């Protein structure tokens, strides 16, 4: 799909608005123009010839008439022709002003002249056309007679005749303004401006817009399309709170796609879930995916490896003061920090104490050994990581898992950020299994997903209730 076509499809309403506005503007301007009526009379010019003339003589006469017509076309709008018309009709105008309303044409190779006069009054237009034709005929005859007298051939006849063959009629339809044609041109111009505006807007809009762009730009399979929910921060675990909702079904569809990919020979069951920037909904996504997998009868463990801004325990509603960090430094055993969730067999490993050196812990052999150990006891191991664009933790985690799911918030994250994230993962040899598009669909009101700085925060100990107060959905 070309960039222009992408722009038109994503901003089609701008093009439509341009067409409608252009058409309306043209019609409005046409309404301000005084209607003009055009009356036309036809004059036949002949030179010599009679019933006994030979074919050669007739042809010569026709050629001579065509040559004279070329000089007559300019004569029609000259003062010598128009001043008698002004006097005859008692007009209070000048010959130059009247000349602007008079025109004369003749088709190529024809001996017929068409004299047209334009006026706001259709009756006056017809009267003027008749008067101009009559005055023109008289002026031509006077000049021919004068030339004959000068040559000493008075009374010999000139052989040139100008005859009115089609008298003017009173026009009933104005020739100006051409409302229909103007409206069409206005619509065309407005559409062109709309196309340009849509393309410029699309070019200046650096945000990712939907699954089609993800598939075409980065050749990533979109495994899930999660709709926007303004109340997501209040009820992030949609599979528990609203099991029959559209968003809940979207997470089940994501589970199905993840299972399908895992069923392939190269399929992965240890998966890191990350995003390019904060607030794209990765923690909400991994929590609901874990619940969906567990509900499907699959032994699932979800690990919070976001050791800087952990929020998984808050989303799942469990105590998270002891967990992964404590396990990695040897302060706790795995069986002591794993927490069961629900009745479907889901296990949760919170982040635990926020350490001063998250990168060192996540890149340590102990973390890789942990992933290998739990993968032997569970069907799926899901790991929540910090955003790729904030710190290097996610890239370190990806080295210990088989695949990565990249969460992309539609209309929130820049294309450059997504490109950088994918490049960072591929640089360390990680496989990006696919993408999950979040925050899709139109919405009313202000959403609750807000960015936050992704740096180490002071350790806050206490109950899950206290963690809930400081947590924000990643």
Q: How many CB atoms are closer than 10 A to CB 89?
A: 13
The pLDDT, as a whole number, for residue 58 is 45
Residue 346, SS3? strand
pLDDT tens for residues 43-76?
A: 888 765 544 444 444 455 556 667 777 878 888 9
Total residues belonging to the chain: 474
Q: How many CB atoms are closer than 10 A to CB 31?
A: 9
Distance of alpha carbon 425 from alpha carbon 226, whole angstroms: 23
Mark which of 139, 166, 193 sits at the end of a domain. Answer: 166
Strand 102-105, strand 222-227: pairing: unpaired
Of 3, 433, 470, 49, nearest in space to 204 by CA: 3
Distance of alpha carbon 381 from alpha carbon 373, whole angstroms: 10
Number of folded domains in the chain? 3
Let me know whether 100 and 131 are in one domain. Answer: yes
Please tell me whether the overall predicted TM-score, pTM, comes out greater than 0.75 for this model: no
Let me know whether 16 and 41 are in one domain. Answer: no
Query: What's the pLDDT band for 151 if we cut at 50, 70, 90?
Result: low
Let me know whether 466 and 371 are in one domain. Answer: yes
Q: Take residue 185 and report the two structure tokens written for it.
A: 């041109």
* Least confident range of 155-164, 392-401, 431-440: 155-164
Residue 28 lies in a domain: yes
* 398, burial (CB in 10 Å: exposed 0-12, middle 13-18, buried 19+): buried
Q: Take residue 264 and report the two structure tokens written for it.
A: 């392939």
Let me know whether 51 and 116 are in one domain. Answer: yes
Is there a contact between 125 and 175 (Cβ–Cβ < 8 Å)?
Answer: no
Containing 197, the helix (H) or strand (E) segment is helix 179-204
What is the separation of C-alpha 107 from the centre of its chain, rounded to a whole number of angstroms? Answer: 47
Residue 301 lies in a domain: yes
DSSP 264: S
The pLDDT, as a whole number, for residue 453 is 39
Query: What's the pLDDT band for 142 if we cut at 50, 70, 90?
Result: confident
Highest mean pLDDT among 265-269, 394-398, 449-453: 394-398
Residue 173 lies in a domain: no
Mutual angle of helices 122-150 and 55-75, in 10-degree steps: 120
Let me know whether 94 and 192 are in one domain. Answer: no
Cα of first residue to Cα of last residue in the chain, in angstroms, is 33
Distance of alpha carbon 117 from alpha carbon 128, whole angstroms: 7
Distance of alpha carbon 16 from alpha carbon 391, whole angstroms: 44
pLDDT tens for residues 245-285?
A: 888 999 999 999 999 988 876 667 999 999 999 999 999 99
Let me know whether 256 and 402 are in one domain. Answer: yes
Let me know whether 335 and 448 are in one domain. Answer: yes
Is there a contact between 440 and 225 (Cβ–Cβ < 8 Å)?
Answer: yes
The pLDDT, as a whole number, for residue 213 is 84
pLDDT tens for residues 198-257?
A: 888 878 888 888 888 898 889 899 999 998 887 777 788 888 878 878 889 999 999 999
Let me know whether 226 and 294 are in one domain. Answer: yes
Let me know whether 213 and 137 are in one domain. Answer: no
Let me know whether 76 and 220 are in one domain. Answer: no
Please give the residue range of the domain that contains residue 23. 3-33+178-203
Of 105, 104, 99, nearest in space to 86 by CA: 99
* Least confident range of 140-149, 285-294, 463-472: 463-472
Residue 320 lies in a domain: yes
Residue 171 lies in a domain: no
Residue 172 lies in a domain: no
Residue 445 lies in a domain: yes
Q: Does 424 have pLDDT greater than 90?
A: yes
Let me know whether 248 and 283 are in one domain. Answer: yes
For residue 51, the domain's CATH number is: 3.30.70.1130
* 233, burial (CB in 10 Å: exposed 0-12, middle 13-18, buried 19+): middle
Let me know whether 214 and 198 are in one domain. Answer: no
The pLDDT, as a whole number, for residue 9 is 77
The pLDDT, as a whole number, for residue 254 is 95
Q: Take residue 348 and report the two structure tokens written for it.
A: 């949760």
């Amino acid at each position: 799909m070309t960039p222009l076509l992408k722009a038109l499809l994503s901003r089609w309403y701008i093009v439509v608005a341009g067409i409608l506005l252009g058409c309306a503007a043209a019609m409005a301007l046409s309404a301000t123009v005084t209607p003009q009526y055009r009356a036309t009379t036809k004059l036949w010019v002949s030179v010599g010839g009679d019933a006994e003339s030979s074919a050669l003589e007739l042809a010569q006469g026709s050629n001579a008439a065509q040559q004279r017509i070329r000089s007559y076309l300019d004569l029609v709008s000259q003062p010598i022709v128009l001043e008698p018309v002004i006097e005859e009709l008692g007009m209070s105008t000048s010959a130059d002003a009247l000349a602007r309303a008079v025109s004369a044409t003749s088709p190529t190779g024809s001996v017929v002249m068409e004299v047209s006069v334009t006026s706001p009054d259709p009756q006056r237009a017809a009267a003027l056309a008749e008067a101009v034709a009559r005055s023109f005929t008289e002026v031509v005859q006077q000049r021919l007679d004068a030339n004959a007298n000068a040559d000493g051939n008075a009374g010999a006849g000139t052989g040139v005749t100008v005859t009115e063959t089609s008298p003017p009629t009173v026009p009933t339809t104005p020739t100006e303004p051409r409302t229909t044609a103007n409206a069409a041109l206005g619509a065309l111009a407005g559409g062109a401006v709309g196309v340009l505006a849509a393309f410029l807007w699309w070019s200046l809009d650096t945000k990712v817009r939907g699954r089609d762009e993800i598939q075409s730009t980065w050749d990533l399979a979109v495994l899930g399309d999660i709709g926007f929910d303004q109340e997501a921060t209040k009820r992030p675990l949609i599979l528990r709170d609203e099991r029959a909702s559209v968003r809940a079904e979207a997470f089940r569809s994501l589970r199905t796609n993840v299972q399908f990919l895992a069923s392939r020979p190269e399929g992965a069951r240890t998966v890191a879930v990350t995003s390019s920037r904060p607030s794209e909904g990765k923690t909400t996504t991994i929590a609901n995916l874990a619940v969906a997998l567990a509900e499907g009868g699959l032994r699932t463990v979800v690990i919070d490896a976001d050791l800087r801004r952990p929020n998984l325990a808050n989303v799942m509603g469990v105590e998270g003061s002891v967990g992964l960090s404590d396990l990695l430094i040897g302060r706790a055993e795995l069986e002591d920090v794993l927490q069961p969730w629900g009745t479907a067999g889901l296990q949760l490993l919170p982040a635990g104490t926020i350490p001063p050196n998250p990168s060192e812990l996540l890149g340590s052999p102990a973390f890789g050994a942990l992933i290998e150990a739990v993968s032997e006891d569970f069907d799926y191991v899901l790991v929540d990581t910090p955003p790729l664009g904030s710190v290097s933790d996610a890239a370190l985690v990806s080295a210990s898992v088989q695949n990565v799911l990249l969460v992309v918030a539609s209309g929130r994250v820049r294309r450059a950020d997504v490109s950088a994230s994918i490049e960072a993962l591929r640089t360390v040899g990680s496989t990006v299994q696919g993408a999950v598009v979040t925050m899709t669909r139109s919405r009313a009101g202000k959403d609750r997903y807000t960015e936050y700085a992704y740096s180490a925060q002071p350790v806050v100990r206490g109950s899950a209730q206290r963690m809930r107060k400081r947590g924000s959905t990643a």
